[in-house]
Amino acid sequence: MSEQQGHDHSHAVVTAGNVKKLTFALALTSTFLIVEVIAGFMTQSLALLSDAAHMFTDAAALAIALVAIKIGKLPADDKRTFGYQRFEILAALFNAMMLFVVAIYILYEAYQRFSQPPEIQSVGMMVVAVIGLVINLISMKILFSSSKESLNIKGAYLEVLSDALGSVGVVIGGAIIYFTGWMWVDTIIAVLIGFWVLPRTWVLLKQSINILLEGVPEEIDIEKLRNDLLAVKGVESIHQLKVWAITSKNIHLTVHLFAPAADRNQLYQQVMEMLSHQHGITEMTLQIEDNACMVHSHESDGHDHSNADDDTHTDEAKNHSH
């Protein structure tokens, strides 16, 4: 018997709010980007150009995030029965890759400049960086609340955060150059910005790839989940347990439960409530079986099979196709 829990519609509400926030942040960022690029070339500051490059990826990230939300709202069809929600994860992956490219470019340019530091206009460098910092702080405040709910928004938020810290670095570098005349400080600041971005980019990249490979979401303890299912009254064994995420907050589960003596409707309600309250999973398909031959056929096919008397569990190796 297969049962499927209905969809959680809270995602649509979050998405509507995200569109307004992203649009406003994109307008602010794009406007200042033009100013910063021009100022970077005029002042000869690599740190400022580094900050401008980050500002460009900020604008791109915000634009991609907006497109991802709009595409993600498209209804499911015969070719994509899960809809287009996963486009959000593709956008987050693309943002992470862009950040990697920018960081590597800045490090390369810094290496080139160490031998011949150019003359830098420190006052102009500081003024532009301060304005950029204000713009980034406004965008961060707008995006912060939604960054915890969406990996896509988190990617955009991380880019703005890294750019804000970059602006702080440029201001400090400009002040040091102004008072000491040490032109090489500009290059050091640019390198530090690049190194600061890389670890955070790796985290975003890893999270995105895990979802695209349909790995178990980080917030799910698969062993506890398996033991909780086996602990439900009437369940003798489980197999075909699969847990994956469509987006960062949309977790799905399928499992076969061997419960020959249980009341199916009652068992379904118990499992549904347990999964929802203890593990935060609301999208599920439960197949309740009472035929031992079906269980043995899964075992002979090499499928995962866990029972209440067995402490040794093997992970399911069969992939889903969406």
CATH topology of domain 222-307: Alpha-Beta Plaits (3.30.70)
At 266, list the tokens.
């009652």
| pLDDT confidence bin for 2, thresholds 50/70/90 | very low
- Torsion-angle region of 238 (φ positive above 0: left; ψ -120 to 50: alpha; else: beta): beta
Residue 256 DSSP SS3? strand
What mean pLDDT comes out for the span 212-223? 90
What mean pLDDT comes out for the span 44-51? 74
> What backbone phi and psi angles, to 5 degrees, belong to 12?
-65, -35
What mean pLDDT comes out for the span 75-99? 82
| pLDDT confidence bin for 165, thresholds 50/70/90 | confident
Provide the percentage of residues in the chain whose pLDDT is more than 90.
Answer: 15
Which one is the CATH code of 2-212: 1.20.1510.10, 3.30.1330.50, 1.10.10.10, 1.10.8.60? Answer: 1.20.1510.10
Neighbours of 141 (CB within 10 A): 12
pLDDT at 272 over 80: yes
Q: What is the distance between the alpha carbons of residues 116 and 22, in angstroms, rounded to a whole number?
A: 40
Q: What is the distance between the alpha carbons of residues 189 and 195, in angstroms, rounded to a whole number?
A: 10
Show me where the domains of the chain are located: 2-212, 222-307
Side-chain-facing half-sphere of 151: CA atoms under 13 Å: 31
Q: What is the pLDDT of residues 138-158, one digit of tens each?
A: 888 888 877 776 766 777 787
What mean pLDDT comes out for the span 197-217? 85
Q: What is the distance between the alpha carbons of residues 278 and 256, in angstroms, rounded to a whole number?
A: 19
The answer to whether the 2-212 and 222-307 domains have the same CATH topology is no
Q: Give me the pLDDT at residue 314, please.
A: 35
Please state, in angstroms and as integers, the Cα–Cα distance from residue 154 to each residue in 34, 63, 194, following that order.
24, 14, 19
| pLDDT confidence bin for 319, thresholds 50/70/90 | very low
pLDDT at 313 over 50: no
- Torsion-angle region of 288 (φ positive above 0: left; ψ -120 to 50: alpha; else: beta): beta
What mean pLDDT comes out for the span 98-108? 79
Q: What is the dihedral sign for C-alpha 254, 218, 311, 231?
A: negative
